[in-house]
Amino acid sequence: MASDETSPSEHDTNTRSLALPHVLLYTDGACSGNPGPGGWAFVLQHPASGKEIEGAGAELETTNNRMELQAVIEGLQQLKIPSEVDLYSDSQYVLKGLEEWMANWKKRGWRTSSKQPVKNKDLWERLDTLKSTHLIRFHWIKGHNEHPENERCDAMAVQARERLVEEHNL
């Protein structure tokens, strides 16, 4: 095959990505204490239509990493068909987990390189299932650095956590 030709698998991938709807997913998690009460939030944008969905929630006893993962899961669950997703997160844990660590964890039966069980395995498995449905590009953004959507997600996650704390008189 000449160097300028595309192999069938590369062609299929390129064609598929052109046919998928494109969305932007911004996520954030917040926790007071680690563990402690925490919140998650996402903003999902469809640039072609200008439509947007946002969501937030909270848990009483959780960790920041669980809230970061939950935000991504909740955002991806909004997608009813396979999509091309640009995922923006300030969590290195989430992005490295998705891009680098998860494949090796799965090969080792959800164990780390030091043979320890993977923390938050339940959420990673849910995320793995969702990831297989979509074409996802990962983007790290610095937290609390005046990125509008990240700041918005942060505020929503904090508000969700605070509402839960107030409801339970904590």
DSSP state of 119: T
Residue of 59, 74, 149, 154 marked active site: 154
H runs (alpha helix) in the chain: 8-19, 64-77, 92-96, 102-107, 121-131, 148-167
pLDDT of the residue at 170: 74
pLDDT of the residue at 144: 75
Q: Among the listed ranges 2-6, 63-67, 105-109, which one has the minimum average pLDDT value? A: 2-6
25 - beta bridge partners? 44, 87
90 is catalytic: yes
Residue 150 lies in a domain: yes
Q: Among the listed ranges 1-10, 29-38, 88-97, 144-153, which one has the minimum average pLDDT value? A: 1-10
H runs (alpha helix) in 78-147: 92-96, 102-107, 121-131
Q: Which long-range contacts (CB under 8 A, 24 or more apart) does 2-6 make?
A: none
Q: Is the pLDDT of residue 102 over 60?
A: yes
Quickly state the pLDDT bin for 17 (edges 50, 70, 90). Answer: low
Q: Is the pLDDT of residue 113 over 80?
A: yes
Residue 126 lies in a domain: yes
What's this model's pTM, rounded to 2 decimal places? Answer: 0.87
74 is catalytic: no
Residue 4 lies in a domain: no
pLDDT of the residue at 18: 60
Residue of 68, 74, 97, 149 marked active site: 68
With a CB cutoff of 8 Å and minimum separation 6, the contacts of 31 are: 37, 38, 39, 62, 63, 64, 67, 161
Residue 15 lies in a domain: no
57 - beta bridge partners? 40
86 is catalytic: no
Q: Which structural domain, as residue segments, surrounds residue 148?
A: 21-93+122-165
CATH code, domain with 145: 3.30.420.10
Nearest to 153 by CA among 93, 66, 48, 68: 68
29 is catalytic: yes
Residue 59 lies in a domain: yes
Residue 74 lies in a domain: yes
Residue 52 lies in a domain: yes
Residue of 12, 52, 144, 167 marked active site: 144
Residue 107 lies in a domain: no
CA distance 97 to 110: 12
Counting the structural domains of the chain, the total is 1
Residue of 90, 97, 134, 149 marked active site: 90
